[in-house]
Structure 1
Amino acid sequence: MTERLLRAPSLYRVVKHNGIAYIGGIVADDDSQDMGGQTREVLAKLDTYLKEAKSDRSKLLSATIFITDMNVKPDMDAAWKEWFAPDELPARATIGVADLGERTLIELIATAHY
């Protein structure tokens, strides 16, 4: 059975199916922050969505991160490493993109088991 949680205007934040939670489209609400700040906010929201899915960061399987400026990727990486225990890091890809919307620097999608 498929379960959809946390409806937004054009998507559900979490879709659960067969033991896997698919989490998509996380961006910071406060887009005045720098890359480190936006990353921390995105990860805090991911924590909330994981809890809603009856999961947690230790159960993350993969993450795809889209960022608008690869020059500030080290700031994103620093926030990422602060958030995870070293032995709980998921598989990850970081992709540079031209635009995520005005002042949005990062967007995250993730997959976790529950």
Structure 2
Amino acid sequence: MTDIKRIDVGPRMSQAVVYGNLVFLAGQVAQRAPGASVAEQTKDILARIDELLAQAGTDKTKLLSATIWITDMATFNEMNSEWDAWVSPGNTPGRACVEAKLAAPQYTVEIAVVAGV
């Protein structure tokens, strides 16, 4: 039986869950940059993803998939400029990006990823 490791466990969700050779991150929002521009929120989220992946014993070179929610498709290029600067060349994950209303109005981007360990 494979152990389950939970990282930053809260009453509603864990920020990351490691099971076998996979790590699943909860959707991340810009906790340190609420209300900032889409670029700044994206940069903050990607830094948090780096932190959580490191805690799980992996990094962005092992990304398998990413789901990105943005509140306005008009900001797609702004978000992508930060994503493209961050993602590991040659190790890009499968990815989906959709427009959606997020849980709180100060957040305009949310990103969830799955990575190998």
Shorter-chain-normalised TM-score: which range?
Answer: over 0.9
State how far apart, in whole Å, the 1-side matches of 2:47 and 2:79 are.
Answer: 14
Letter in 2 for 1:8: G
After superposition, what is the alpha-carbon deviation per residue over 1:54-105, rounded to whole angstroms, capped at 9, x for unaligned? 0000001000011101000100001000002321211100011023312200
> Which residue pairs with 2:28 in the alignment?
26
TM superposition shift of 1:37: 0.5
- How does the TM-score come out when normalised to structure 1? 0.95
Gaps of 5+ in 1: none
Letter in 2 for 1:35: V
Gaps of 5+ in 2: none
State how far apart, in whole Å, the 1-side matches of 2:48 and 2:11 are.
Answer: 17
> Which residue pairs with 2:7 in the alignment?
5
Q: In angstroms, what is the RMSD of aligned CA positions? A: 1.0
- Classify the secondary structure of the residue corresponding to 2:58: coil
Which residue among 89, 93, 101 is the counterpart of 1:90?
93
- Classify the secondary structure of the residue corresponding to 1:87: coil
> Which residue pairs with 2:19 in the alignment?
17
Q: How many residues align?
A: 114
- How does the TM-score come out when normalised to structure 2? 0.92
Which residue among 33, 48, 61 is the counterpart of 1:58?
61
